[in-house]
Amino acid sequence: MQQLIVFGEDWGAHPSSTQHLMKHLQQQYELVWVNSIGLRRPTFTVRDGKRLLAKAKSMLKKTPSAPTSVSRSEFPVVEPKVIPWPSSSVARKLNGALLKNLLSSFTSEDKRPILWTSLPSAVDVVGKLNEKAVIYYCGDDFTSLAGVDHAPVAVMEQELVEKADLVIVASQELAKKFPADKTVVLEHGVDYEEFSSASKYSAPRPEDLKMGRPIVGFYGSIADWIDVELIKSVAHKLPDWEFVFIGSVQTDISAIKELPNISLLGPKPHNELPNYVAHWQVSWLPFRQCGQIDACNPLKLREYLALGKPIVSSEFPALEPYKQLVNTATTAEEFVNAIEVAACDSPKLISEKAMVSEVQSWLDVEFLSSNTQLRRHSVSKESWRTKSEQVHQLITLLRP
């Protein structure tokens, strides 16, 4: 069985596209997962301090030498003992040696693994493991991603692209950055069965989801690419709506934190998200215009579509194939109107309007059911299993 050494985010920390793919590819490859190698030098903040402490504890644990069960995986998950200082040439050379030593117990001269990296910082071990081939899987524009030392990481990425046999990108915008002769676009997938089967009738309502008002909901990292001022303005203009945010806060939200119709629920396990969306009326993507969003292909877009609920979103390139199924807006006034229009695509809200006749209500629900099915159908063939099969085909085409 071909060995695949994967450099990605911390396994189980959040459901990244690489993790979704590897959950399926582990049936076809001997996997070794290497947790996150930092893309910036730590700062003197509480958040960085906690992360460094957690990393230090993980490093002190004995490196697994055999497959272990970690968050539904059946392969080793190892913590790299490296220095998170991408701008230091000394740290980079040391990290390359440390990674080679760390991974020597998992591979051998005759195995010739394939290296898969989702992070440019893994470039320093490339060429040191007698690898058969190198795959760079790029899901973000690291030159504009928040929380990254952009200049040194850009240098690392360029070095990695030159060494890579294959570059897989998540969007057409990202593809423009790399050589066309070795770059393939593979857009994100979705856990279709899990998300499409959830509804307000079958999914239990989470206890921390407020009752009494229609809900506009968002889940994901609440970071610099979220338009906090837009959210504040829309929430003020729609006081009868509840605005729910699920995810870790990584930016200044003081402008909205105390608003009476804003609920910040914190991060939730991925498998609980369908239960939340099933009980809100409108899903939304209040993105700020920036380089990161221009290049992104957010997983949550396809998950929202699979759930079938109306969606209101800012404009961004990866939205284009689904624009007929999404209400888009730019200004706060446009967002307010889009949310009110999307609300008419909610059987629950329509059925509560006393002025609607029984016949008209039935017709509306039939129409709404059709809209729900259209949204779900748009991503029905975009499962992560299908995407992993496409990745497998790409790997088989790599040089022997």
The 10s digit of each residue's pLDDT in 296-320 is: 999 999 999 999 999 999 999 999 9
Question: From CA 221, how far away is CA 55, in angstroms rounded?
Answer: 20
pLDDT tens-digit readout, 339-371:
999 988 864 444 444 333 443 444 444 455 688
Fold match flag (3-189+383-396 vs 192-378): yes
108 — pLDDT class (breaks 50, 70, 90): confident
Q: State the average pLDDT for the chain.
A: 87
The CA distance from 153 to 157, in Å, is: 6
Least confident among 27-31, 252-256, 347-351, 369-373 = 347-351
Nearest of 97, 141, 90, 190 to residue 296 by alpha carbon? 141
Confidence of residue 157 (pLDDT cuts 50, 70, 90): very high
pLDDT value at 293 more than 70: yes
Query: Structurally, what CATH architecture does the domain formed by 192-378 represent?
Result: 3-Layer(aba) Sandwich (3.40)
pLDDT attached to residue 32: 97
The residue count for the chain: 400
pLDDT band at residue 73, thresholds of 50, 70 and 90? low
Identify the pLDDT of residue 67: 39
Give the model's pLDDT for residue 40.
Answer: 60
Which of 37-41, 140-144, 273-277 has the highest average model confidence (pLDDT)?
273-277
Question: How do the domains of the chain map onto residue ranges?
Answer: 3-189+383-396, 192-378
pLDDT at 57: 52
Q: Is the pLDDT of residue 122 over 80?
A: yes
Establish how many alpha carbons lie within 13 A of residue 80's alpha carbon, considering only the half-sphere containing its beta carbon: 29
In this prediction, what percent of the chain has a pLDDT beyond 90?
Answer: 76
pLDDT the model gives residue 13:
82
Q: How far apart are CA 82 and CA 98, in angstroms?
A: 7
Among 372, 391, 229, residue whose Cα is nearest residue 306 = 372
What would the CATH number be for the domain defined by 3-189+383-396? Answer: 3.40.50.2000
Sign of the alpha-carbon dihedral angle for 114, 119, 120, 122: negative
Looking at residue 62, its pLDDT comes to 52
